[in-house]
Amino acid sequence: MRTAYRVQDVRAAEAALMARLPEGALMRRAAAGLAGACAGLLRRVYGARVVLLVGSGDNGGDALYAGALLARRGAGVSAVRLGRRVHEAGLDALVRAGGRVADDPYGVLARADLVVDGITGIGGRGGLRPEAVPVVRAARESGAVVVAVDLPSGVDADTGAVEGEAVRADATVTFGAYKPGLLVDPAREYAGALRLVDIGIRDLLPGAPELQALQHADVARLLPVPAAESDKYRRGVVGVVAGSARYPGAAVLAVAGALRGGAGAVRYVGPAGDAVLARYPETLVHPGPPGRAGRVQAWVIGPGLADTPGVADVLASDVPVLVDADGLRLLDPAAVRARPAPTLLTPHAGEAAALLGTVREDVEARRLDAVRELAGRYGATVLLKGSTTLVADPSPGVPVRVNPTGTPWLATAGSGDVLSGLTGSLLAAGLTARDAGSVGAYLHGLAARRAATGGAGVSPTGAGAYPYDGGRAAPGAAGGAPLTAHEVARALPGAWRDVAAAAPGA
């Protein structure tokens, strides 16, 4: 499992370790890791032209010490000063190693092979200051590889928000622990490939991180597996209330996901029974209403529902309920809060905005805050869909799960219906709402990657999702071909097998 910690926790852990180490030891560890990553990105260090963008804090200090290490290996290193102050010992080290302060920043940037962004790290506030903006643009336009130190300067470490301009990096080398902004959009988009450098603070970080990103082995442990004595009822029945005369396809897609999510049977309730049976004869169908359809272990309600009633009925049940799409428009917040059984809401940014009484752009700009706020207000688990899907529990201390497997090809009509069926099926099979949401999103994203790329998924360590070690953009993140929601559903068993193979002892 990958975890991300808030700035205050990283700082506390660093302070505790620093008290035990000689002065500057931590920064030297960080700089050594950074220099190693830079060397890996340059074909040859000797003779390479490296430009350091140096702000006034310790982030600039890291860049200067790393620049000194590269200069000792024969790189031509120039520092561009962007703050009023500069880390003096770092600058001394650079100059002693043969580096220099650039007197023509735009000239050195135009010829650079690699640019190191040491403007701000965890001490940065707001976007880039105006004087840094043209310099950062020149770095981007030079075609040089841009490596961010700890974080791309200008992004918010704790929330992933980007207020104003920020550095767009090809790679980010971060120290001690991931910061939430590196894993959550929009900031994640600015970070490029991630690499974590261990500086020894891991054991000093508090128990609960802000974020968790599951990997294959974590998901494998959560997958429901039938026991020898299982029968279809013990494996769980999922009820799917979806589709309408206007949108029968949503019913078919939600059932397609539900059939592949581990429940023993899928009960479809609604007016699209014929369309469902034509495609999936294994489905149990009932015209409704849900209260008369028979016992289920979890309900999914909403995809393509239009204004069909049923939401109140389902929310009044005593089993876990997943509410998606039109169901979100029709739900009564008080009924959700009053439920004794778990509720999982799965909005996209537009639906989340409507639930919060704000606009879509606001949710997209602060996804992490928005998902926590929704979960708190509704007393429900919330899965916020989008480029970095998040799953938040209503209790504030519980880490938010961030899904690493998605692909922008998933932004296709109907893929959300597959997700809700799949996730509801995991709920019926007995997973908690938080686990069902995170496992559902993981398998769904992985299936989409497999479908888009003809098989290439994500390695068991998630290396295809966050290529922390390769230093390149994620293969399969945007690579591949357009896919349809149905293809995502069809690729689910392959994704499941991929993940299951990572289980200990598999």
Element (H, E) at 365: helix 360-365
Distance, CA of 81 to CA of 131 (rounded, Å): 11
Q: Is 348 marked as a binding-site residue?
A: yes
The minimum distance between CB 156 and ligand ADP, in angstroms, equals 20
Please state, in angstroms and as integers, the Cα–Cα distance from residue 191 to each residue in 79, 186, 387, following that order: 22, 10, 14
Tell me: does residue 18 bind ligand NAX (CB under 6 A). Answer: yes
Give the C-alpha separation, 357 to 359, whole Å. Answer: 7
- The yes or no reply on residue 413 touching ligand ADP (CB under 6 A) is yes
Tokens of 383: 């899965």
Q: Of 2, 5, 9, 14, which one interacts with ligand NAX (CB under 6 A)?
A: 14
Task: Yes or no: say if 92 and 65 are a contact pair by the CB < 8 Å rule.
Answer: no
Residue with the closest Cβ to ligand NAX? 121
Q: Is 386 a binder of ligand ADP (CB under 6 A)?
A: yes
Position 149 contacts K ion (CB under 5 A): yes
Q: How far is CA 192 from the centre of its chain?
A: 13
Q: If binding is defined by CB under 5 A, does position 301 make contact with K ion? A: no
Q: Does 149 bind ligand NAX (CB under 6 A)?
A: yes
Please tell me whether 244 is known to bind a ligand: no
User: Is 198 a known ligand-binding residue?
Assistant: no
Sign of the torsion angle spanned by Cα atoms 164, 167, 170, 173: negative
Stretch that binds ligand ADP, among 24-32, 106-114, 222-230, 408-416 (CB under 6 A): 408-416
* Separation between Cα atoms, residue 442 and residue 461, nearest integer Å: 13
Q: Is 294 annotated as a binding residue?
A: no
- Shortest spacing between CB 187 and ligand NAX, in angstroms: 14
Give least dist CB 42 to ligand NAX, A: 21
Residue 406 half-sphere exposure toward CB, CA atoms < 13 A: 24
Q: In angstroms, what is the minimal distance from the CB of 90 to K ion?
A: 14
Least distance in angstroms from the C-beta of 467 to ligand NAX: 21
Task: Please choose which of ligand ADP, K ion, ligand NAX, none residue 407 contacts, taking the beta carbon within 5 to 8 angstroms, the exact cut-off set by kind.
Answer: ligand ADP
Check residue 125 for interaction with ligand NAX (CB under 6 A). yes
Per CB under 5 A, does 258 bind K ion? Answer: no
* Dihedral angle over CA of 321, 324, 329, 331, nearest 10: 0
Q: Does 153 bind K ion (CB under 5 A)?
A: yes
Smallest separation, CB 131 to ligand NAX (Å): 8
| DSSP per-residue codes, 68-130 | HHHHHTT-EEEEEE-SSS--HHHHHHHHHTT-EE-S-HHHHHHT-SEEEEES-STT--SS--G
- Residue 122 labeled ligand binder: yes
Q: Residue 24 burial (CB < 10 Å; 0-12/13-18/19+)?
A: middle
Nearer to ligand NAX, 5 or 175 (CB): 175
281: three-class secondary structure by DSSP: coil
Task: Mark the segment that binds ligand NAX (CB under 6 A) among 58-66, 429-437, 484-492, 495-503.
Answer: 58-66
Span interacting with ligand ADP, options 97-105, 288-296, 410-418, 427-435, rule CB under 6 A: 410-418
Length of the chain: 506
- Answer yes or no: is 201 a known binding residue: no
223 within 8 A of 502, measured Cβ to Cβ:
no
Q: Is 407 in the site for ligand ADP (CB under 6 A)?
A: yes
Is residue 415 involved in binding ligand ADP (CB under 6 A)? yes
Which part of the chain contacts ligand NAX (CB under 6 A), choosing from 121-129, 217-225, 418-426, 495-503? 121-129
Distance CA 455, CA 125 (A): 42
CA–CA dist 124, 53 (Å, integer): 14
Identify what 117 binds: ligand NAX, K ion, ligand ADP, none; CB under 5 to 8 Å per kind.
K ion
Whose CB is nearest to ligand ADP?
A: 416
Q: How far apart are CA 7 and CA 130, in angstroms?
A: 24
Pick the stretch among 31-39, 266-274, 382-390, 391-399 that binds ligand ADP (CB under 6 A). Answer: 382-390
For residues 234 and 263, what is the distance between their CA atoms, to the nearest angstrom?
Answer: 9
Give first-to-last CA distance, the chain, whole Å.
18
125 is in an annotated binding site: yes
Cβ atoms of 375 and 397 within 8 Å: the answer is no
Token pair recorded at residue 264:
């023993």
284: three-class secondary structure by DSSP:
strand
In the complex, the smallest distance separating the C-beta of residue 258 from ligand ADP, rounded to whole angstroms, is 14
Tell me, what amino acid is at 460? P
257 is an annotated ligand-binding site residue: no
Residue 324 assigned as binding residue: no
By CB under 6 A, tell whether 79 contacts ligand NAX.
Answer: no
128 binds K ion (CB under 5 A): no
What's the CA gap between 298 and 128, in Å, rounded?
Answer: 48
* Nearer CB in complex with ligand ADP: 90/440: 440
C-beta atoms surrounding 39 within 10 Å: 18
List the structure tokens of 185.
């959009």
Taking CB under 6 A as the criterion, the residue among 126, 333, 408, 493 binding ligand ADP is 408
φ/ψ of 60, rounded to 5, equals -65, -35
Name the residue nearer to ligand NAX (CB basis): 136 or 344. Answer: 136
Binding site, residues? 58-62, 117, 121-127, 150, 153, 250, 304, 348, 385-389, 416-417
Binding site for ligand NAX (CB under 6 A): 14, 18, 26-27, 30, 55-60, 62, 83, 119-126, 128-129, 149-150, 175, 199
Binding site for (6S)-NADPHX, residues? 58-62, 121-127, 150, 250, 304, 348, 417
Binding site for K ion (CB under 5 A): 117, 148-149, 153
